[in-house]
């Protein structure tokens, strides 16, 4: 069967009328203005899958630029029987190549994710120069407390200093710190890069015993000692880079708000466990009853149970960033009976601390 078709040579836009016939060796093409040639069937490619009202367009590997355009349904049908690969559809080789490219991309992304979220932060945190973490911590503290007032009274400041001194007494390698109490009603405590620890008025109000406050402070000191806030900051920064890698854009463009998030996001379970262990060690060394921390954790757990109905009431409380679990509570054990316990503050000092926000 020989039919008329149009041939484009890829050199000019001239449409060459040709006669095409299907033979055993392939498609034989001949015409006045075209050198006679035969396109073998395996080398043929359909530009798009055959479709009614659309010409069947073919190219051949021997002549990359040339195109053959056939408008003859009967001939097309015959050709498709002889060369079924022209029907299109699934192309295993192409699919494999695509799979490799995308799979490779996703693997790299997964590797980067692991690196930035799990592997690198804690290791880099230790290497971070103090001056850097101090600068960042200070800015984060300012942006987190907004315009809340710092609670300060001469007696209250002295009481706070005394509590820290008591804790530090038997823990000589305690990192340098700055603890501040802010007049914020919700109950919260957090440690920021550079050794900045923030307590809220709400937390002081809930505590019924100086040991409870000392416990929370010791826990936050534990975070500082283990460089958790710095690690968290690096993790968040890494996340920003990852988002930008994944989307191919410059990400949210808001490094600052993301860095602020570092303090709000849940810390890892391991970090909490480490801070708890540090706190218990510190309290025991200072002969402060760790059971007070336990009592305070139980209070928090009860508080959480009460408000679990609404997501909002949990936000911004100490428990959302450091979720208290029964597992964590059970790990806190009383000191041996022969240890003489000491209160971290005298009654007078405790009263002064409680009244520090007026």
| Contact status, residue 134 vs residue 194, Cβ threshold 8 Å | yes
CB 1 within 8 A of CB 57: no
Q: Which is nearer to other proteins, 106 or 315 (CB)?
A: 106
Interface segment toward other proteins; rule CB under 8 A; list 66-74, 173-181, 200-208, 322-330: 66-74
Distance CA 194, CA 229 (A): 8
* DSSP secondary structure, 27-61, as one string: EEEEETTEEEEEE-GGGEEESS---TTS-EEEEET
For other proteins, which residue of 250, 306, 310, 340 counts as binding (CB under 8 A)? 250
Half-sphere exposure of 266 (CA within 13 A, CB side): 9
- 9 binding other proteins? (CB under 8 A): yes
> Judged by CB under 8 A, does residue 153 bind other proteins?
no
Quickly list DSSP for 308-325.
Answer: TT-HHHHTTSHHHHS---
Give me 309's structure tokens. Answer: 């109905």
DSSP letter (8 states) at residue 119: I
Contact window for other proteins (CB under 8 A) among 104-112, 215-223, 280-288, 311-319:
104-112
The closest alpha carbon to 171, from 123, 126, 214, belongs to: 214
As given in the structure block, the two tokens for residue 81 are: 């029987």
- What is the Rg, in whole angstroms, of the alpha carbon atoms belonging to the chain? 36
Residue 150 carries which DSSP code? B
Scanning 176-184, 229-237, 332-340, 349-357 for contacts with other proteins by CB under 8 A, the matching segment is: 229-237
How many angstroms separate the CA atoms of 274 and 236, rounded? 20
Beta carbon of residue 326, minimum distance to other proteins (angstroms, whole number): 34
Q: Which residues contact 309 (CB under 8 A, 6 or more apart)?
A: none
Give the residue, chosen from 1, 2, 14, 161, that forms a contact with other proteins under the rule CB under 8 A: 14
112 near other proteins, rule: CB under 8 A: no
**6 interacts with other proteins by CB under 8 A:** yes
Report whether 196 contacts 137 (CB < 8 A). yes
Compare residues 98 and 348 and give the one whose CB is closer to other proteins.
Answer: 98
Per CB under 8 A, does 96 bind other proteins? no
* Among positions 15, 61, 327, 330, the unique one binding other proteins when judged by CB under 8 A: 15
Q: Which of 244, 268, 314, 325 binds other proteins (CB under 8 A)?
A: 244
Residues touching other proteins, count (CB under 8 A): 62
Scan residues 27-46 and list those touching other proteins (CB under 8 A): 32-33
Residues that bind other proteins (CB under 8 A): 6, 8-17, 32-33, 47-49, 51, 53-55, 57, 65-67, 69, 98, 101-102, 105-106, 109, 128-129, 132, 135-136, 138-140, 142-143, 233-234, 237-238, 240-241, 244-251, 253, 255-260
């Amino acid at each position: 069967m020989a039919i008329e078709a149009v041939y484009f040579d890829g050199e000019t836009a001239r449409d060459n009328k040709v006669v095409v016939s299907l033979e055993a060796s392939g498609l034989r093409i001949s015409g006045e203005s075209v050198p006679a040639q035969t396109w073998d069937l395996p080398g043929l490619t359909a530009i798009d899958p055959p479709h009614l009202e659309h010409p069947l367009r073919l190219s051949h590997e021997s002549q990359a630029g040339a195109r053959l355009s056939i408008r003859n349904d009967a001939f097309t049908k015959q050709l498709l029987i002889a060369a079924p690969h022209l029907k299109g559809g699934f192309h295993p080789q192409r699919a494999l190549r695509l799979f490799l490219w995308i799979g490779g991309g996703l693997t790299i992304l997964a590797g980067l994710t692991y690196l930035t979220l799990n592997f690198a932060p804690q290791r880099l945190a230790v290497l971070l120069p103090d001056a850097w973490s101090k600068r960042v911590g200070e800015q984060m503290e300012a942006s987190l407390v907004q315009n809340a007032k710092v609670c300060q009274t001469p007696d209250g400041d002295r009481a706070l200093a005394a509590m820290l001194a008591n804790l530090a007494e038997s823990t000589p390698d305690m990192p340098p710190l700055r603890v501040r109490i802010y007049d914020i009603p919700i109950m919260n405590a957090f440690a920021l890069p550079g050794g900045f620890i923030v307590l809220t008025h709400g937390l002081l109000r809930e505590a019924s015993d100086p040991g409870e406050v000392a416990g929370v402070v010791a826990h936050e000191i534990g975070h500082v000692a283990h460089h958790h806030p710095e690690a968290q900051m690096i993790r968040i920064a890494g996340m920003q880079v990852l988002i930008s890698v994944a989307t191919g854009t410059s990400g949210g463009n808001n490094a600052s708000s993301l860095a602020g998030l570092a303090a709000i996001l849940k810390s890892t379970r391991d970090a909490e466990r480490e801070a708890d262990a540090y706190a218990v060690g510190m309290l025991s060394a200072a002969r402060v009853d760790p059971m007070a921390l336990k009592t305070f954790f139980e209070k928090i757990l009860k508080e959480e149970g009460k408000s679990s109905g609404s997501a909002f009431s949990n936000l911004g409380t100490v428990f959302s960033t450091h979720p208290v679990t029964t597992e964590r509570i059970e790990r806190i054990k009383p000191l041996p009976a022969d240890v003489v316990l000491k209160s971290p503050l005298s009654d007078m000092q405790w009263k002064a601390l409680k009244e520090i926000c007026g």
